[in-house]
Amino acid sequence: MTTLPTVELTVYAYECDAYGHLNHATAVALLERARWESLARGPGIDLFHRNGVMPVVRKATVEYRAAVFPGDVLRVELTVAERGTTSWTVRHVVTRASDTMPVFDGEVVLVCLDRTGRPTPLPDELATLLGPRTSGAHGTRRVVVAGGSAELAVDVRGDGVAVLFVHGFPFDRTLWRHQLAALTRYRRIAPDLRGVGESRGTSDEYSMARYAEDLAGLLDALDVRRAVVCGLSMGGYIAFEMVRRYPERVRALMLCDTRASADAEDARRRRDELAALAGRDGPGAVGERLIPNLLGAATRAERPEVQEQLLAMSRRYSVPGMAGALRAMRDRPDSTRDLPKITVPTLVMVGAEDPTSPPAVMKTMADAIPGARYVVVPAAGHASPLEQPLASSRAMADFLDGLPASEATG
């Protein structure tokens, strides 16, 4: 993704409402100001004029995260999330400069019009500035791995230390949408695993080893030698496999809502029943069976959209992808004896109400990993990064910011 110059803007009192907050209209206007400022720092604000075209906004969405007040200085990171023939999408990640608190993100689709008001192909100078055409939606890349047996869809954002986000089951990469927006000082890499979401798996091979191999191939393709591996639940099982197989690729670990033990006999039987359900009634039926029982009470009561988002993720599995994930989890090795051998900095994070990897289990796991940091996220269940995005992202940012220099830069 092409990055445009980052800008800092001060919020003025006239941009705020009677309660002193930046209001919606001015948030959108502020994003526009940021784009012009960014142009002023790059090719100049006469870029469109000198090429005989004008940009118009076709769609703008803003997602708010925290209140903004007069006098706040906001840092706006701009990336070209998508580039077509006549249009492009700019993603804005807005943080408060004083403490890097994420305050809102915006996504704006612009179209290039000629002097008669018709859409027209981007002039060369603009096309060069915005970078190569993207194929997938929102700048998603596609990377072929494992000798062509899978093609992974992956979101890659920002620069800095690489953080590889590995989703759990039955979720996809959008589980990490808030962390991708918030952790702006890091290179965030979030793939869909094979057979999930927009990724394809062309073979029937599913195992923790295969997933780990896919991810090592993904890091190769992105030219990343070492990454902080952040895995939630099944993503944690894969993170353990990466530590076993590719220790040199793992800079640090963030283990969320996961467990080190293998499946007991009854759990193995339930995996087979769920695989049969996916084959009979579709992957969404498995989501409907599992997801309502995974969330915290506050999420269920106050944020029904979180459950909807998770159900939508489960529907994006292919049947082989879902059955394969269930088999891979059923047959995964026990990682308990590996815990004391982990030598990289590790964050162990759990939702206070996680029913499947409860705090007591996670605490025991953290105690077995030398020097691990243990954090409980209040009012969250099994999907803590989505249920409590601010608290989860803050815990991750604190951990990442505190990595020793050799971990942070090596």
Write each residue from 268 to 287 as x if it is in contact with ligand MLT (CB under 6 A), else as -, in one continuous string: --------------------
Number of H helices, E strands in the chain: 15, 14
Tell whether residue 168 is a contact of ligand MLT (CB under 6 A): yes
Pairwise CA distance, residues 277 & 283, whole Å: 8
Tell whether residue 93 is a contact of ligand MLT (CB under 6 A): no
Smaller CB distance to ligand MLT: residue 106 or 235? 235
Q: How far is the CB of 169 from ligand MLT (least distance, A)?
A: 4
User: Measured in whole angstroms, how far is the alpha carbon of residue 383 from the centre of its chain?
Assistant: 13
Q: How far is the CB of 361 from ligand MLT (least distance, A)?
A: 12
Q: How far is the CB of 354 from ligand MLT (least distance, A)?
A: 9
Smaller CB distance to ligand MLT: residue 92 or 382? 382
Cβ distance 119 to 58 under 8 Å? no
Smaller CB distance to ligand MLT: residue 381 or 389? 381
Write each residue from 372 to 391 as x if it is in contact with ligand MLT (CB under 6 A), else as -, in one continuous string: ----------x---------
Pairwise CA distance, residues 110 & 119, whole Å: 10
As beta bridge partners, residue 287 has none
The only residue of 112, 122, 208, 329 in contact with ligand MLT, by rule CB under 6 A: 329
Nearest to 170 by CA among 275, 100, 240, 253: 275
Q: How far is the CB of 320 from ligand MLT (least distance, A)?
A: 17
Rg (CA), the chain: 22
Smaller CB distance to ligand MLT: residue 157 or 382? 382
Q: How far is the CB of 126 from ligand MLT (least distance, A)?
A: 43
SS (H, E, C) 202-221: CCCCCCHHHHHHHHHHHHHH
Pairwise CA distance, residues 339 & 357, whole Å: 16
The only residue of 165, 169, 206, 211 in contact with ligand MLT, by rule CB under 6 A: 169
Cβ distance 143 to 198 under 8 Å? no
Tell whether residue 356 is a contact of ligand MLT (CB under 6 A): yes
Q: How far is the CB of 383 from ligand MLT (least distance, A)?
A: 8
Pairwise CA distance, residues 31 & 68, whole Å: 14
Q: How far is the CB of 222 from ligand MLT (least distance, A)?
A: 24
Q: Quick one: DSSP state of residue 196?
A: B
Pairwise CA distance, residues 16 & 25, whole Å: 10
Tokens 């988002």 sit on residue: 309
Residues 199-218 that bind ligand MLT (CB under 6 A): none
Smaller CB distance to ligand MLT: residue 84 or 284? 284
Render 355-401 in DSSP notation, one character per residue: SSS-HHHHHHHHHHSTT-EEEEETT--TTHHHHSHHHHHHHHHHHHH
Tell whether residue 350 is a contact of ligand MLT (CB under 6 A): no
The only residue of 79, 149, 233, 346 in contact with ligand MLT, by rule CB under 6 A: 233
Tell whether residue 26 is a contact of ligand MLT (CB under 6 A): no
Nearest to 386 by CA among 295, 317, 272: 295
Nearest to 392 by CA among 230, 158, 219: 230
Q: For the purposes of burial, counting CB atoms within 10 Å of the CB of 339, is it exposed (0-12), middle (13-18) or buried (19 or more)? A: buried
The only residue of 234, 243, 253, 397 in contact with ligand MLT, by rule CB under 6 A: 234
The amino acid at residue 342 is I
Residues 170-199 that bind ligand MLT (CB under 6 A): none
Residues binding ligand MLT: what is the number (CB under 6 A)?
A: 7
Smaller CB distance to ligand MLT: residue 123 or 358? 358
Q: How far is the CB of 399 from ligand MLT (least distance, A)?
A: 21
Residues that bind ligand MLT (CB under 6 A): 168-169, 233-234, 329, 356, 382
